[in-house]
Structure 1
Amino acid sequence: MYATLPSPLGTLYIAASDDAILEVDFRDEAMPPCPPASPLLQAACDQLDAYFHGERQRFDLPLAPRGTPFQQEVWQALQSIPCGEHRSYRDIAALIGNPKAMRAVGMANGRNPVAIIIPCHRVIGAGGKLVGYAGGLERKVWLLQHEAGMADH
């Protein structure tokens, strides 16, 4: 099951099983409105809406992104990055105990199926460079600026 949610960055597509969020993705093509058909999808929409209004910095949703064990480990590590902060690929590689896996961390980061909630946008390149984001670099910039503003409150 899924729902769509209008956001400042375009339509979000949110997919869920009966008990976990599976995907949050930006959709550039027009999608018809699809209201949440379950309490879990409603909670996801409510929490994402609160995030976009600057009222929520952390998400409290069960997640079940599909990926390899390594990807799962990276995605878990991403969730430890506080709102308004960022980490490098090197930082994440060290955090998971595999300091030479920076490139693999980057690949896993790019395959994150749960945008925003698993905050892959908070990972930047060496020296503070803003590098790739599956949702588009302009969205990454917007998200980082939005969160920097929330952290000031």
Structure 2
Amino acid sequence: MNYQAKLKAPFGVLGIRCSAEALTGIDFLPASERPQAPTNAFAATVCAQLLRYFDDPHATFTMPLDLHGTAHRQKVWHAMLDIPCGQTRSYGELATDLHSAAQAVGQACGANPIPIVVPCHRVVGKAGLGGFMQHSEGASLDIKRWLLGHEGAL
């Protein structure tokens, strides 16, 4: 995968994908991955905003996003952007709001190309954390726990 930056995060390394004017993806990379300096000014802006978030969970992201997906996924991703820091919504609550099904909301969350910025970690199961990035256990859930704890939602 070609990244415009690899940023050290408190839970590993983030692979940043972007054009010169919009963020297109964030991937969770192994902690052993070497950080890589931003290759363009926009990637530097993305890294700066992510670092600010890691210092202060209430910091806001202002970079343009380039989200590609089905109309339903777009609806879910945009709804996630409205969930405030420190709060969560269940898959079922989001599904009710969007006139959808909880499973379809969960699938859209798992397909989110820009986690953290599009806060799929704030969508949880009605009786627990739910999954994160198409996983229901392991390191992915550890990242979700860290993000929610960082935001004061756990």
Unpaired runs of at least 5, structure 2: 134-138
Which string of whole-angstrom CA distances, capped at 9 and with x for unpartnered residues, describes residues 111-147 of structure 1?
Answer: 10101000000001114x1111126111111110100
Q: Which residue of 1 aligns with 2:131?
A: 132
Which string of whole-angstrom CA distances, capped at 9 and with x for unpartnered residues, describes residues 67-117 of structure 1?
Answer: 111111110100000000000112211232x1x421101000011010100
Contact (CA 8 Å) 1:124, 1:130: kept in 2 or not? yes
Identity of aligned residues (%): 40
Find out whether 1:120 has 2:120 as its counterpart.
Answer: yes
1:87 & 1:35 partners in 2: Cα distance? 35
Task: Tell me the matched-pair count.
Answer: 146
Contact (CA 8 Å) 2:58, 2:151: kept in 1 or not? no
The runs of at least 4 consecutive aligned structure 1 residues that moved more than 4 Å come to none
Match of 2:129, as an amino acid? L
Match of 1:103, as an amino acid? Q
Q: Which residue of 2 aligns with 1:95?
A: 97
Unpaired runs of at least 5, structure 1: none
Change (3 A) 1:71 1:36: same
1:17 & 1:85 partners in 2: Cα distance? 31
Following TM superposition, by how much is the alpha carbon of 1:66 offset from its aligned partner in structure 2, in angstroms? 2.2
